[in-house]
Amino acid sequence: MELMELTALELGTAIKKGRVSVKEAAQAALDRIAAQSSALNAFITVTGERALDRADKLQAGVKDAESPLYGVPMALKDNICTRGVRTTCASKILGEFTPPYSAAVVDKLAGAGAISLGKLNMDEFAMGSTSETSCFGPVKNPWDPERVPGGSSGGAAAAVAAGLGWYAVGSDTGGSIRQPAAFCGVTGIKPTYGTVSRYGLIAYASSFDQIGPICRDAADCAAVLDALQGKDPRDGTSLEGQYGRLLDRLTGDVRGLKIGLPADCYGDGLDPEVRAAVLAAADTLKSRGAQVTELPFPVMEYVVPAYYIIAAAQASSNLSRFDGVKYGRRADEYGGLDDLYRKTRTQGFGPEVKRRILLGTFVLSAGYYDAYYIKALQARAVIKSGFDRAFEQCDLLLTPTAPAAPPRLGTSLDNPLQMYLGDVYTVSVNLAGLPGLSMPCGFDSQGLPIGAQLIGPHFGEEMLLNAAHAFQLDTDFHRQRPKDSICRDAQRVPARLETLDHRPGAQCAPQREGGGPA
Amino acid sequence: MNITPELVERIADLSRLELGQEEVLETAAQLEQIAACMDILNRLDTRGIQPMSHVFPVENVLREDTVLPSQDRAELLACAPASDGETFLVPRAVE
């Protein structure tokens, strides 16, 4: 049995039945990480010793384990705080920050018997759509190391696709789980805003940020989301709900389910191969008894401007806390207190983060606040109403996740606006706080994965996962894996660090336990 | 929307970021392009629409105060670039 070919739930079952020990599973993943990860640059920090120690402890409790994920090794995006393990947000400004507390989701996963293999690479502060803005260098796509894996949870998606762990937990502010899942041929879900605690998630845009899983299939996503969701008094936006029964309710029965195709999501700017693959997915769901109808969705042109105004505004406010005083790195030389702030922030933030802070400060500044920020909040209300009307006509929406195949490394950061426009199908979901899922639905003529996005109403996770599960019962796109040889070849592809070279100071160094660069 | 170098310098100052002369010009050009895209929102009639900060209506929730342990001070201070064991250390803020 090739362990790495199992899904997280299959591995959980094998562990429960004693066919595989927890340590064997952890060691198998660590061996693959040692062989592949530096080529893909998927991990920032590998916590092998911790993982093996925990495997021993968990093994003792296998018999009494209730979680279907008990003993299954996974990894966390590096914007999720982990007590005692360096958490960088892929930014120089956090330096060697080692949180004195863990995020709520880390404790919840621990309760479900998870083993963390380490922390995953990402765009700096989750700002980017390509995982190239990391101060640790770009992540590469395991399907084609010349391509980006998407972002900002690019390390998470690449790791799951390349078999460096059985699932990953990322965050999604404007598509950061769904778009990399699409680009790497894996399944990811951003849950309804407020259903997973943000306590311990380093904030980017607080009214959009939401944690969720990236997995090999919809069933694994259901199991991980069951472990993650829940009311948490430490997150003021956390909601009460009926949590923990997604996996149990996964039937694959979509008879009578009304799936809407928003016409405005299939127009200009969409790659014909992506369009064909997503429409074929609609046909597959139809063949299982779903009803597919087209409907108008006339707000698409407003979603990117509204999203980037609000996200940048919240980012500029949230990131004011990085001032070289309470944690992270401080500039070596400075004059007074104000100069300390300026030097620390100028040296610590990368270009994309600075761009969004500046943009956010602009839209919030006197004279522009009403024209941009308030206008965007009004547009948000209009977009939310657009979804409300759509969900009066159908149960779910089906759209592409991204308009085209993953771009080549080094081609996106010079034109930020173009990169922002690529988020057109995902950001609307965050503006309205809805759940959204991306599932593999085909490959283009170059062999690159294509993702289809399902969008549901608030608390519609069960419907989304069930539709994706139904699709995956009839297709095997989610079972395709990139060849290991491609991942190894990634080593030879230059990381194109020139896109980062204009930052002062040295690149950040990846780290393994016991010090020393990996 | 015309984004001048002077405006970029003003928002950089508010953001506590230092930009070189070249960065100011580059940022002005990029922000102008981004702002032009954002001006698309002007096509949308938003008269009478309430700005939406949160998708779920947020209501005040009242409860009794309960005393809970908070983070350990020494652990928090250990994260700081400079501390004296009791407080964060910064350059003199008031002359």
Find which of A362, A369, A412, A424 to mutate to test the B interface (most B CBs within 10 Å of its CB): A362
- Cβ of B79 under 8 Å from any chain A Cβ? yes
pLDDT at A412: 92
Q: What is the chain B residue with the closest CA to A237?
A: B58
CATH topology assigned to domain A3-300+379-507? Amidase signature (AS) enzymes (3.90.1300)
Query: Taking CB atoms and an 8 Å limit, are A420 and B15 in contact across chains?
Result: no
Q: For residues A423 and A178, what is the distance between their CA atoms, to the nearest angstrom?
A: 10
Residues of chain B found within 8 Å of residue A343, distances taken between Cβ atoms: 18
pTM for the full model?
A: 0.95
CA distance A186 to chain B (A): 28
Q: For residues A79 and A66, what is the distance between their CA atoms, to the nearest angstrom?
A: 28
CA distance A295 to chain B (A): 20
Find which of A92, A346, A385, A387 to mutate to test the B interface (most B CBs within 10 Å of its CB): A346
pLDDT at A502: 34
pLDDT digit string, tens, across residues A303-350: 999 999 999 999 999 999 999 999 999 999 999 999 999 999 999 999
pLDDT at B95: 73
- Which ipTM value was assigned to this complex? 0.96
Q: Which residues of chain A have pLDDT under 70?
A: 1, 487-518
pLDDT at A449: 98
Residues of chain B found within 8 Å of residue A192, distances taken between Cβ atoms: none
- Cβ proximity of A85 and A106 under 8 Å: no
Residue spans per domain, chain B: 5-43
For chain B positions 36-75, those within 8 Å of chain A (CB to CB) are: 37-44, 46, 49-56, 58, 71-72, 75
Q: What is the chain A residue with the closest CA to B47?
A: A378
CA-CA-CA-CA dihedral for B15, A510, A139, A441, to nearest 10? -110
Residues of chain B found within 8 Å of residue A329, distances taken between Cβ atoms: 81
CA distances B20 to A106, A503, B12, B25, Å, are 41, 12, 11, 9
Q: Which strands sit side by side in the sheet containing A167-172, from one edge to the other?
A: A291-295, A258-262, A396-400, A449-455, A436-443, A187-190, A210-215, A167-172, A73-77, A115-120, A43-46, A511-512
Q: For residues A192 and A443, what is the distance between their CA atoms, to the nearest angstrom?
A: 28
B81: nearest CB among A324, A357, A375: A324
A361: nearest CB among B11, B37, B90: B11
pLDDT digit string, tens, across residues A413-439: 888 999 999 999 999 999 999 999 999
In CATH, the number for domain B5-43 is 1.10.20
Query: Taking CB atoms and an 8 Å limit, are B46 and A372 in contact across chains?
Result: no
- Number of residue pairs across A and B with CB atoms under 8 Å? 155
pLDDT at A499: 38
- Cβ proximity of A11 and A166 under 8 Å: yes
Q: For residues A116 and A513, what is the distance between their CA atoms, to the nearest angstrom?
A: 13
Residues of chain B found within 8 Å of residue A359, distances taken between Cβ atoms: 31, 34
Task: Give the active site residues of A.
Answer: 77, 152, 176
Q: Which residues contact A122 (CB under 8 A, 6 or more apart)?
A: A77, A78, A79, A89, A90, A131, A134, A139, A151, A152, A153, A154, A155, A156, A170, A176
Find which of A316, A359, A420 to mutate to test the B interface (most B CBs within 10 Å of its CB): A359
pLDDT at A85: 98
pLDDT at A514: 44
Query: Taking CB atoms and an 8 Å limit, are B42 and A375 in contact across chains?
Result: yes
Query: Taking CB atoms and an 8 Å limit, are B52 and A378 in contact across chains?
Result: yes
Task: State the alpha helices, DSSP H only, in B1-95.
Answer: 5-14, 21-38, 73-78
Query: Taking CB atoms and an 8 Å limit, are B15 and A336 in contact across chains?
Result: no
The per-residue DSSP string of A86-137 comes to ---TT-GGGTT---SS--HHHHHHHHTT-EEEEEE--SGGG--SSS---TT-
A340: nearest CB among B11, B41, B90: B90
Residues of chain A found within 8 Å of residue B30, distances taken between Cβ atoms: 355, 416-417
Q: What is the chain B residue with the closest CA to A341?
A: B16
CA distances A233 to A138, A172, A203, A384, Å, are 36, 21, 17, 26
